[in-house]
Amino acid sequence: MPMNQPFEYTGIVLPDDRENAQFRDRLESARARIIRSLQKFTSPGVVHIGLGAFNTVVVSVATGVELDEVKRDQASDAIHRILTDL
């Protein structure tokens, strides 16, 4: 199944040490947790974690199906909890 239905979460303002290698490592480790969490709602494909405007974290997830509003909210909440724990 092609992974062509993107889901994007934008939030969480980065701490001042966002350039710190340890923080980048924590973001990378969050990728696996995000994938495991999103498996409850969809079949996550590629997960990209990057930097957005105003020092926010942007998580883009390619999924095989379009998420309805309830699942999008659940997925956003799950990602938010994971990133808040960093």
| Residue-range domain boundaries for the chain | 5-84
The predicted model gives 7-21 an average pLDDT of 71
Average of per-residue pLDDT across 50-73: 80
Q: What is the dihedral of CA 75, 79, 85, 86, to 10 degrees?
A: 170
Does pLDDT of 34 surpass 70? yes
Written as six digits, the tokens of 54 are 């105003």
Query: Nearest Cα to 38, choosing from 4, 67, 3, 16?
Result: 67
User: What is the mean pLDDT of the segment spanning 54-62?
Assistant: 81
* Average pLDDT for the chain: 78
pLDDT band at residue 1 under the 50/70/90 scheme = very low
pTM given for the model:
0.73
Domain 5-84 has CATH 3.30.70.1130: yes
Decide: 56 and 13 in contact? Cβ < 8 Å. Answer: yes
